[in-house]
Amino acid sequence: IGHKGSVLRDAGTAARVEAEQLLGARVYIENKVKVDPNWQRRGHALDRLGL
């Protein structure tokens, strides 16, 4: 996600700009992040995401 969400914010901004150019209209994109504090200990956590 990056320091203070910087990578997530930049990805969202880039996606919004591209969508606005494609659609020719203003676009609102909402990013939601769900945290699993033990994701590193659970082998299946990344499998569920296809990683």
pLDDT tens digit sequence for 1-51:
778 889 989 999 999 999 999 999 999 999 888 777 877 777 777 777 776
- Report pLDDT for 4: 85
- Report pLDDT for 39: 72
Phi/psi at 30 (5° precision): -110, 125
Q: Residue 33 in contact with residue 1, Cβ under 8 Å? A: yes
- Report pLDDT for 51: 65
* Identity at 25, one-letter amino acid code: A
Q: How far apart are CA 6 and CA 3, in angstroms?
A: 6
- Report pLDDT for 13: 94
- Report pLDDT for 47: 76
